């Protein structure tokens, strides 16, 4: 079974492929792919977000650029695997979602500043969520070393610091909103580890909500399965009873056999054919044969 980081990688890749396929279809029928993409991306405008609140979640599992998803998924898998050495899969999923929310919220707040209120952009990608995982594990195990090509063993704390510095210096570039969201994810990851070291798990509400949704889904599935089994059992009982009670038009049975047959059929009606004893089954077969 795939690990939790790998499952999230598969989810992101599946959504990426779906978006690109839809994009190709839009291209050939003369539609701008951005029309449907904006229903998934997070808008910088609060007014727009009010009409499409689901984008606060959908943006963090969607990508449209090949290099974007390639880099994010590689980092998510590498650091996610290390993350599970210190935390649980539930912590991983919870922080992924919280990191995306933290990045999205800081992104929205930034575009509420007077200098940016007239700028409208869209945010897409798992970068803020990935950043939360990277910083979360770096704060937990700052001296944990990993080998980097051409650089050799490097402590996680230096990698985390480098990520943060790059994002801060890149805010004035073309992808300002994206780098702000990265910082929001980084803050969320740091807060998660600091608080969990004190016994406070900020991912608990997220995982509780996920568990409730899973329980509801399983309840619906179990109810459907029980109904199917019940219907199949009733159908089988009816078929068995009919096959054993099939009458022959030329035969007759005694009053004693008639009474016995009524008792047996009543038992089948209440408890099913499987509840009959071997003697009752034999009697039922004999009476139905003679009838």
Give the residue, 289 or 67, on which the prediction is more confident.
67
Task: Say yes or no to pLDDT of 247 above 50.
Answer: no
Q: Give the residue-averaged pLDDT of 285-291.
A: 67
Helix, strand, or coil (residue 1): coil
Structure tokens at 131: 């950043």
Residue 127 known to be catalytic? yes
The DSSP result for 229-257, as a single string, is HHHHHHHHHHHHHHHHS---TT----HHH
pTM, two decimals, is 0.76
Per-residue pLDDT, 115: 84
Give the residue, 234 or 80, on which the prediction is more confident.
80
Residue 38 known to be catalytic? no
Per-residue pLDDT, 250: 43
pLDDT band of 259, cuts 50, 70, 90? confident
Catalytic: which of 63, 91, 182, 244? 182
Give the residue, 187 or 114, on which the prediction is more confident.
187
The Cα 52–Cα 61 span in angstroms is 16
Catalytic: which of 44, 127, 129, 288? 127
Q: Which of 21, 19, 54, 52 has the alpha carbon at shortest distance from 37?
A: 19
Give the residue, 257 or 165, on which the prediction is more confident.
165
Per-residue pLDDT, 248: 43
Burial class (CB in 10 A: 0-12, 13-18, 19+), 57: middle
């Amino acid at each position: 079974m795939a690990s939790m980081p790998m499952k999230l990688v598969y989810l992101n890749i599946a959504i990426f492929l779906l978006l690109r396929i839809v994009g190709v279809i839009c291209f050939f029928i003369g539609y701008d792919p951005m029309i449907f993409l904006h229903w998934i991306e997070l808008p910088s405008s609060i007014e727009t977000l009010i009409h499409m609140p689901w984008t606060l979640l959908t943006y963090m599992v969607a990508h449209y650029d090949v290099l974007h998803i390639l880099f994010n998924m590689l980092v998510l898998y590498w650091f996610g695997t290390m993350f599970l050495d210190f935390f649980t899969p539930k912590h991983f999923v919870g922080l992924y979602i919280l990191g995306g929310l933290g990045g999205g919220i800081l992104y929205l707040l930034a575009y509420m500043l007077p200098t940016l209120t007239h700028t409208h952009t869209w945010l897409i990608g798992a970068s803020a969520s990935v950043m939360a995982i990277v910083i979360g594990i770096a704060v937990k195990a700052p001296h944990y070393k990993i080998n980097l090509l051409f650089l050799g063993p490097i402590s996680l704390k230096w990698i985390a610091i480098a990520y943060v510095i790059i994002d801060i210096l890149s805010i004035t570039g073309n992808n300002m909103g994206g780098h702000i969201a990265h910082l929001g994810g980084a803050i969320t990851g740091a807060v998660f580890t600091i608080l969990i070291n004190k016994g406070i798990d900020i991912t608990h509400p997220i995982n509780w909500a996920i568990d409730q949704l899973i329980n509801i889904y399983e309840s619906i599935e179990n109810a459907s399965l029980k109904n199917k089994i019940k219907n199949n059992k009733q159908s089988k009982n009816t078929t068995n009873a009919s096959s054993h009670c099939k009458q022959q038009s030329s035969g007759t049975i005694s009053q004693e056999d008639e009474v016995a047959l009524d008792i047996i059929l009543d038992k089948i009606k209440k408890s099913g054919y499987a509840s009959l004893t071997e003697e009752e089954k034999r009697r039922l077969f004999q009476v139905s044969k003679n009838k």
